[in-house]
Amino acid sequence: ETGVTQTPRHLVMGMTNKKSLKCEQHLGHNAMYWYKQSAKKPLELMFVYNFKEQTENNSVPSRFSPECPNSSHLFLHLHTLQPEDSALYLCASSQEGRQGGTGELFFGEGSRLTVL
Amino acid sequence: AQSVSQHNHHVILSEAASLELGCNYSYGGTVNLFWYVQYPGQHLQLLLKYFSGDPLVKGIKGFEAEFIKSKFSFNLRKPSVQWSDTAEYFCAVNGGPGRRALTFGSGTRLQVQP
């Protein structure tokens, strides 16, 4: 039990589908993140939400659309994805101050996405 | 931009061997440093962290890491590995201009043979 719950754990979708990944954190943190983990590549930061405001968008294609309705929930909406988007998508949370924080992240178990 | 290099992509050791995994980062200012571990089929979890103070930090399961500022390094060590240490290890750094989130290295896959 990590305190960060991601659903679904596995998702297979076609290139024309629309789906969403969900993340919920039970740690009382105020910042949430999406990372992409592909084989043999560093974890790629996608989005950061701090106090429900998006503070980083790491040049992510618009076919990925994040949503953060409150500090406990984070979504990643997916549409018209490409096969190269197949990866493990990791959600994380942290406690940040207004001037920043330590950076320590708490991760969920990830959502394994396969795009056909 | 901050970058993190892990030089060993795949390491194979026998049980009881000593381990050292290299990690170098690029930003020369104040940084916080982390090692995360991902056991097969499990989530990324924190192994140890350095914020300030004693540059030799101890983590869980007998791991330690040494921060050498002059070398921009934060190498992970364990004197005697066990089969259960088989996992992927990620170095991460927080710091650098305009970046609050962690920057990760590409990971090192450790395989410990019984």
Q: How far apart are CA B26 and CA A113, in angstroms?
A: 32
| Chain A residues touching B32 at Cβ < 8 A | 102-104
User: Average pLDDT of A27-51?
Assistant: 89
What pLDDT, in 10s, does the model give residues B43-57? 899 999 999 899 999
Residue A99 has pLDDT above 70, yes or no: no
Token pair belonging to A72: 């406990």
Structure confidence at residue A112 (pLDDT): 96
- The backbone torsions φ and ψ at residue A56, rounded to the nearest 5 degrees and listed phi first, read -145, 135
| A33 → closest Cβ in B51, B101, B106 | B101
User: Average pLDDT of A57-73?
Assistant: 90
User: Average pLDDT of B60-69?
Assistant: 95
Structure confidence at residue A72 (pLDDT): 94
Min Cα distance B23 → chain A (Å) is 13
Structure confidence at residue B31 (pLDDT): 86
User: Average pLDDT of B56-70?
Assistant: 95
Q: Are A68 and A52 in contact (CB under 8 A)?
A: yes
- The backbone torsions φ and ψ at residue B20, rounded to the nearest 5 degrees and listed phi first, read -145, 120
Token pair belonging to A16: 């024309």
Structure confidence at residue B17 (pLDDT): 97
Q: Cβ of B9: how many Cβ atoms within 10 Å?
A: 10
Which positions 37-76 of A are in contact with B (Cβ < 8 Å)? 40-43, 45, 48, 50, 55-56
